[in-house]
């Protein structure tokens, strides 16, 4: 099979409210940063994939509004609705198709412009579920209770994820919510929906991220060392929550196994050096790590308490601060990919981890982790 690599990344700072900027302004900034990073001009890009959600953007065909600022004039542009990792998946397939050499992938949203609970309510089934008023937080609170009931993990233990990730964000200049906090601070924060408190939840955010994916024929012709895609997979669970085992994520376990197989990884704990994952809520970091095979089910909290997931730990998780420190919906998974790329190049600055040859980036699409996308990225082909 042909190979592809990521050769440029650009991120806007993640902020609570970019009130001065339109979607196109954010795209312009992220795309130009990615082009500069790669040592390219827009003329070096042969096609564009934008990732956005019409509901979050408050308009239909939201992709068309950012085409110009994304450098798509007179080019082949296509749109993905979902997390940025899925937009990048499509960009990767385009690279492998043989028809394209350099694909620019963007993902954006502005949580500040809508009402998050109404927007996420609209993702529920309109016949049976939406009218009851469920939203992302209430649904994930039920998943958290199911997980904690099955594993015995406590809210105090999960709170340490918030402490770690907000603390890591102090070293990441693009993070929205750098904070030095304690488990006590998390446990004292406002109860939103049992067992989730305010500091268990990722914030509402604005941001745009862009990456350039290149076919192997041209991957080494630009400025930066290519970061190679070694493994890549996604899997999807049932739409109705009531059909799923909410205490588990079978889709993630399967996606991770597929990605490891493609990458030739047999022992992910030993062969993967760092992880950026989709911690929309504290318990999710634990559950996702367990389903990907980095801890036994219900036991990630023990490794967390030992400091193994710290920036200087054996397996740094969300050294950037993760979603706890900024959650631009749609773009969030693409930020995970960009962060792994910076780490594997040794360019992550103050939150650079020591050993970074092979990294895992994870994105989620759908409510309570209905669908998961797992990327294995590597310094080596």
Partner 1 sequence: MADKDQLIIESGEAAQPFKYAVGMPGSKFFAETRDNKRLMGEKCPKCGRVYVPPRGICGKCYVKMDEWVEVGPLGVIGTFTILRFAFIDPETGHQKPVPYGYGFIKLDGADTLYQHYINIEDESKIKIGARVEPVWAENRKGTTRDIEYFRVID
123-142 residues in contact with partner 1 (CB under 8 A) are: 125-135, 137-138, 141-142
Binding of partner 1 by 73 (CB under 8 A): no
In this structure, are residues 39 and 206 in contact, taking their beta carbons and an 8 Å threshold? no
* Shorter beta-carbon distance to partner 1: residue 197 or 336: 197
Instruction: List the one residue from 31, 80, 146, 227 that touches partner 1 (CB under 8 A).
Output: 146
In this structure, are residues 186 and 197 in contact, taking their beta carbons and an 8 Å threshold? yes
Binding of partner 1 by 74 (CB under 8 A): no
Stretch that binds partner 1, among 32-40, 152-160, 242-250, 355-363 (CB under 8 A): 242-250
Binding residue count for partner 1, defined by CB under 8 A: 42
* Shorter beta-carbon distance to partner 1: residue 250 or 308: 250
Instruction: List the one residue from 68, 76, 180, 191 that touches partner 1 (CB under 8 A).
Output: 191
Alpha-carbon dihedral sign for residues 257, 316, 354, 84: positive
Instruction: List the one residue from 70, 109, 121, 343 that touches partner 1 (CB under 8 A).
Output: 121
Query: How many angstroms separate the most distant Cα atoms in the chain?
Result: 56
* Shorter beta-carbon distance to partner 1: residue 136 or 219: 136
Tokens of 59: 């308009």
Binding of partner 1 by 61 (CB under 8 A): no
DSSP 268: H
* Shorter beta-carbon distance to partner 1: residue 183 or 247: 247
Distance of alpha carbon 337 from alpha carbon 330, whole angstroms = 13
SS3 of residue 293 by DSSP: coil
Least distance from C-beta 58 to partner 1, angstroms?
7
Least distance from C-beta 138 to partner 1, angstroms?
5
Least distance from C-beta 367 to partner 1, angstroms?
12
Least distance from C-beta 110 to partner 1, angstroms?
12
Alpha helices in the chain (DSSP H): 23-38, 54-57, 84-96, 116-121, 136-151, 155-168, 183-188, 250-263, 268-271, 282-291, 300-305, 332-345
β-pair type (4-11, 191-193): unpaired
Instruction: List the one residue from 73, 115, 314, 350 that touches partner 1 (CB under 8 A).
Output: 115
Least distance from C-beta 139 to partner 1, angstroms?
8
Binding of partner 1 by 217 (CB under 8 A): no
In this structure, are residues 34 and 342 in contact, taking their beta carbons and an 8 Å threshold? no
Peptide bond into 195 cis (omega under 30): yes
DSSP 190: P
For 267, 291, 297, the CA distances from 144, given in Å and listed in that order, are: 28, 15, 14
In this structure, are residues 303 and 297 in contact, taking their beta carbons and an 8 Å threshold? no
Distance of alpha carbon 288 from alpha carbon 181, whole angstroms = 23
1-60 residues in contact with partner 1 (CB under 8 A) are: 19-20, 58
Instruction: List the one residue from 74, 152, 190, 312 that touches partner 1 (CB under 8 A).
Output: 190
Least distance from C-beta 290 to partner 1, angstroms?
18
Contact set with partner 1 (CB under 8 A): 19-20, 58, 115, 117-118, 121-122, 125-135, 137-138, 141-146, 149, 190-196, 238, 240-243, 246-247
């Amino acid at each position: 099979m042909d190979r592809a690599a990521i050769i440029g990344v650009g991120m806007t700072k993640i902020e609570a409210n970019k009130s001065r900027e339109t979607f196109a302004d954010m795209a312009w900034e992220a795309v130009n940063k990615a082009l500069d990073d790669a040592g390219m001009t827009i003329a070096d890009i042969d096609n564009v994939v934008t990732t956005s959600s019409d509901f979050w953007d408050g308009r239909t065909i939201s992709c068309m509004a950012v085409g110009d600022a994304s450098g798509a004039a007179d080019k082949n542009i296509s749109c993905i609705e979902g997390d940025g990792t899925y937009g990048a998946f499509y960009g990767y397939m385009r690279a492998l198709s043989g028809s394209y050499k350099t694909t620019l992938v963007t993902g954006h949203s502005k949580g500040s412009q809508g009402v998050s609970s109404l927007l996420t309510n609209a993702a529920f089934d309109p016949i049976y579920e939406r009218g009851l008023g469920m939203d992302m937080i209430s649904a994930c609170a039920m998943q958290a209770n199911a997980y904690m009931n099955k594993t015995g993990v406590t809210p105090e233990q999960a709170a340490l994820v918030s402490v770690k990730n907000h603390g890591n964000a102090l070293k990441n200049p693009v993070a929205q919510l750098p904070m030095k906090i304690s488990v006590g601070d998390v446990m004292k924060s406002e109860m939103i929906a049992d067992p989730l408190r305010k500091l268990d939840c990722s914030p509402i955010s604005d941001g745009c991220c862009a990456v350039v994916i290149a076919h192997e024929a041209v991957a080494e012709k630009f400025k930066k060392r290519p970061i190679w895609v070694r493994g890549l997979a996604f899997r999807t669970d049932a739409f109705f929550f009531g059909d799923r085992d909410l205490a588990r994520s079978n889709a993630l376990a399967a996606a991770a196994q597929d990605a490891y197989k493609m990458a030739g990884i047999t022992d992910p704990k030993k062969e993967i050096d760092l992880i950026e994952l989709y911690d929309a809520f504290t318990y999710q970091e634990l559950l996702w790590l367990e389903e990907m095979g980095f801890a036994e089910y219900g036991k990630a909290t023990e490794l967390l308490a030992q400091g193994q997931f710290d920036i200087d730990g054996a397996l740094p998780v969300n050294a950037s601060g993760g979603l706890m420190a900024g959650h631009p919906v749609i773009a969030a998974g693409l930020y995970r990919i960009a962060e792994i790329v910076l780490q594997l190049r040794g360019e992550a600055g103050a939150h650079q981890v020591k050993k970074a040859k092979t990294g895992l980036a994870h994105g989620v699409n759908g409510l309570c982790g209905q669908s998961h996308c797992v990327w294995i990225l590597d310094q080596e082909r």
